Amino acid sequence: MTKGDVIYEGKAKVMYATDSPDKVLVYFKDDATAGNGEKHGVIQDKGIINNKISEYFFKLLKTNGINSHFVEVVSDREMLVKKLNMIALEVVVRNVAAGSLAKRLGLEEGTALKVPVLEYFYKSDELGDPMLNRYHIMAVDIASLQELDEIEHIAFCVNTIMKDNLRAKNVDLIDFKLEFGRDEKGKIILADEISPDNCRFWDMSTHEKLDKDRFRHDMGGVEEAYKEMLTRLTM
């Protein structure tokens, strides 16, 4: 595999073309942002940890019948993935009230939800990633009704698989964000990453936060939290 030109650079990752037209190389950075990019910083070795944690979850999901863009890890910070036509949606699944949901509904953070909640956000930094519903999504042709049904089915399956796995690691899956794309046949495929950057992980016993909230809220111990999550998953 030959690493080619940069085709996209985001807040946390860089994507490179390869000599295979249907695959791209993802490089995980240590850069960290919060508040729609208003807060910037660096979390030491975050890129290495997120690469390894994403590999862990993508492999776990595959063994449970959930396909993703993941092909293989090629270095500490690099992952080879299938090239997809990305869908401009962030799909958030929530099991416990935290972050923006707790604020919007006036719930105490940590309140267990009676059923998982799924929310859509339009992936647009310029607009601040506004929340959408199914009608908005279909009205502006981001995705079809059939695609949304498939996205929701996959998202809830991912939730069940991850919750069950993390329970054995003494970790609560509070909420998480997924992204999806279409392959060359138009099939919906799970993409992006699954890591402490886009998941809320809490210790089941102490409710200690083991994710990017420690960076968002200047709680300290950010690097240690990321390393602790990797240790729990791989020990």
CATH number at residue 116: 3.30.470.20
Is the domain of 89 the same as that of 56? Answer: no
Is the domain of 75 the same as that of 102? Answer: no
Whole-Å CA distances, 3 to 17, 73, 78, 80, 192: 6, 14, 11, 10, 19
Is the domain of 90 the same as that of 150? Answer: yes
User: Which phi and psi angles does 132 have, rounded to 5°?
Assistant: -125, 160
Is the domain of 39 the same as that of 134? Answer: no
Is the domain of 69 the same as that of 97? Answer: no
The whole-number pLDDT of residue 78 equals 98
Is the domain of 105 the same as that of 215? Answer: yes
Structural domain includes residue 234: no
Chain segment 112-156, per-residue pLDDT in tens: 999 999 999 999 989 999 999 999 999 999 999 999 999 999 999
Is the domain of 56 the same as that of 171? Answer: no
Chain segment 81-121, per-residue pLDDT in tens: 999 999 999 999 999 999 999 999 999 999 999 999 999 99
* Calculated CA dihedral for residues 166, 103, 43, 15, nearest 10 degrees: 80
Query: What does the pLDDT average to over 4-31?
Result: 95
Q: Which of 67, 82, 97 is the last residue of a domain?
A: 82
Is the domain of 92 the same as that of 75? Answer: no
HEC assignment per residue over the chain = CCEEEEEEECCCEEEEEECCCCEEEEEECCEEEECCCCEEEECCCHHHHHHHHHHHHHHHHHHCCCCECEEEEEECCEEEEECCEECCEEEEEEEECCHHHHHHHCCCCCCEEEEEEEEEEECCCCCCCCEECHHHHHHCCCCCHHHHHHHHHHHHHHHHHHHHHHHCCCEEEEEEEEEEEECCCCCEEEECCCCCCCEEEEECCCCCECCCHHHHCCCCCHHHHHHHHHHHHHC
Is the domain of 71 the same as that of 165? Answer: no
* CATH code, 18: 3.30.200.20
Structural domain includes residue 49: yes
Structural domain includes residue 154: yes
The whole-number pLDDT of residue 37 equals 66
69 pLDDT exceeds 70?
yes
The CA distance from 130 to 122, in Å, is 5
Q: Please check whether residue 151 is in contact with residue 188, taking contact to mean a CB–CB distance below 8 angstroms.
A: yes
The whole-number pLDDT of residue 100 equals 94
Structural domain includes residue 231: no
| Residue numbers of the domain that contains 31 | 3-82
The whole-number pLDDT of residue 134 equals 98
Chain segment 210-226, per-residue pLDDT in tens: 999 999 999 999 999 99
Is the domain of 131 the same as that of 203? Answer: yes
**Percent above pLDDT 90 for the chain:** 94
Structural domain includes residue 230: no
The whole-number pLDDT of residue 14 equals 97
Is the domain of 67 the same as that of 92? Answer: no
Confidence of residue 178 (pLDDT cuts 50, 70, 90): very high
Is the domain of 191 the same as that of 210? Answer: yes
Confidence of residue 4 (pLDDT cuts 50, 70, 90): very high
Q: Which of 28, 63, 82 is the last residue of a domain?
A: 82
What is the count of structural domains for the chain? 2
Chain segment 18-50, per-residue pLDDT in tens: 999 999 999 999 999 887 667 889 999 999 999
